[in-house]
Amino acid sequence: MAKVLAVLYPDPVGGYPPKYARDSIPEITHYPDGSTVPSPEGIDFKPGELLGSVSGELGLRKYLESHGHQLIVTSDKQGPDSVFEKELPTADVVISQPFWPAYLTADLINKAKNLKLAITAGIGSDHVDLNAANEHHITVAEVTYSNSISVAESDVMQVLALVRNFIPAHEIIQQGGWNIADAASRSYDLEGMTVGIVAAGRIGRAVLERLKPFNVKLLYTQRHQLPAEVEKQLGATFVADVKDLAKVVDVAVLCAPLHAQTYHMFDDKLLATMKRGAYIVNDSRGELVDRDAIVRALESGHLAGYSGDVWYPQPAPADHPWRSMPHQAMIPHMSGTSLSAQARYAAGTREILEAFFENKPIRPEYLIAQDGHLAGVGAKSYTVKKGEETPGSGEKE
């Protein structure tokens, strides 16, 4: 019997289940690269249900208990008295979502003597100290592609929301006003602008594809240039160094994983080289940017807008400066937890658990670390150095 500890975000304030806006979600069978969506032996939920909160339990209870395993679900994750930290030393499997990350620091991993598998229900395993996971031979797996398109859609929405000044205009209406001049005086067309994508992976490429019809100039940067035919199809030009991209873009969309090379990539120095009036959208990880440098650039008017759903730490404290900085369209970490995405990553979590309990291989595209090394997709996306903490794995600000 295994003990599975799932750390999920709290239920809706109005109770569980919520009243759903729709009765069904479209069925997706394949991702854009041709790989199939998760295919567990079965699921015990209806796609479209809220699965990512405590009562949703990622739809796992029936499956786990019918196989004799124990499932503990909690949202209480912070500090030594939390349910998470109390249960962790005897847990065999930890499941956590990046939206409400159970930070698995090196210290906590040391105490988790039984831990064999850490599953990210979603994408992005920087909340796990990957070095420590490797030292303790803990398998780290995530549900690759499950919410990539969800995030790409949200990125595009936020680019438009910033450039068109949508949120302040909406607020004028909610406050009973009609001052078109106020709404229009920060509103521009995206058409003709230069948009730079930082990391054209699954999300970044989907953003490029979705922005192409807006008649914008598309640039991208990452460590490896895409094949020429892919660049042609995307209509995107490669810029080898993020510094050269930052200088020329009107909008930067950050789509890179968080690791030592990308930590605080957008700091005071890089921001100062950007055009006055540039926008940044970051649904990737909060620590890709320097928190206070963003606030300074917005307050001085150097940046025209910043939008994103990723913060550090998460949940963001009530006095986090990004809640009150000007010209922002911040939302809680939710781009990748649409009800549509939840159905996929809950099924993917079950698929990973089935493989683990039946001693079958986990799909390589789901693997981040295994047998003491970065593995599968993780070997391509992350870097680890001995003795170095994974940047997102602590609760620090």
Q: Which residues pair with 120 in a beta bridge?
A: 96, 142
The residue within the footprint of ligand NDP, chosen from 202, 320, 327, 350 (CB under 6 A), is 202
- The residue at minimum Cβ distance from ligand NDP is 201
Provide the token pair at 35: 């790989």
Q: Which stretch binds ligand NDP (CB under 6 A): 52-60, 118-126, 131-139, 233-241?
A: 118-126
Q: Please tell me what DSSP assigns to residue 128.
A: B
Within residues 120-139, the interface with ligand NDP by CB under 6 A covers: 122-124
Q: Is 381 in the site for ligand NDP (CB under 6 A)?
A: yes
334 assigned to a ligand binding site: yes
302 assigned to a ligand binding site: no
CB of 389 to ligand NDP, least distance (A): 17
370 assigned to a ligand binding site: no
Handedness of CA 14, 17, 23, 24 (dihedral sign): positive
Closer to ligand NDP by CB, 56 or 201: give it. 201
The residue within the footprint of ligand NDP, chosen from 120, 134, 139, 148 (CB under 6 A), is 148
CA distance 67 to 38: 20
24 assigned to a ligand binding site: no
Q: If we measure between CA atoms, which residue out of 161, 143, 157, 160 comes closest to residue 38?
A: 143
Q: Which residues are tagged catalytic?
A: 147, 285, 314, 333
Closer to ligand NDP by CB, 91 or 242: give it. 242
CA distance 134 to 143: 19
Continuous segment of H or E residues that includes residue 249: none
Closer to ligand NDP by CB, 224 or 360: give it. 224
Instruction: Indicate the angle between helix axes 148-163 and 166-174, nearest 10 degrees.
Output: 70
Within residues 219-278, the interface with ligand NDP by CB under 6 A covers: 222-224, 255-258, 261-262
> x/- string (CB under 6 A) for ligand NDP, residues 314-353?
-------------------x-xx-----------------
Q: Is 147 in the site for ligand NDP (CB under 6 A)?
A: yes
CB of 335 to ligand NDP, least distance (A): 4
CB of 161 to ligand NDP, least distance (A): 15
261 assigned to a ligand binding site: yes
296 assigned to a ligand binding site: no
Q: If we measure between CA atoms, which residue out of 236, 237, 245 comes closest to residue 265?
A: 245
User: Per-residue b/e over 141-172, b at no fewer than 16 CB within 10 Å?
Assistant: bbbbbbbbbbbbbbbbbbbbbbbbbbbbbeee
Q: Where does the chain have alpha helices with state H?
A: 61-66, 83-87, 106-111, 130-135, 148-163, 166-174, 180-184, 202-211, 228-234, 242-248, 268-273, 291-299, 321-324, 339-357, 376-381
335 assigned to a ligand binding site: yes
Q: Please tell me what DSSP assigns to residue 100.
A: B
Binding site residues, ligand NDP, CB under 6 A: 122-124, 147-148, 151, 199-204, 222-224, 255-258, 261-262, 283-285, 309-310, 333, 335-336, 380-381
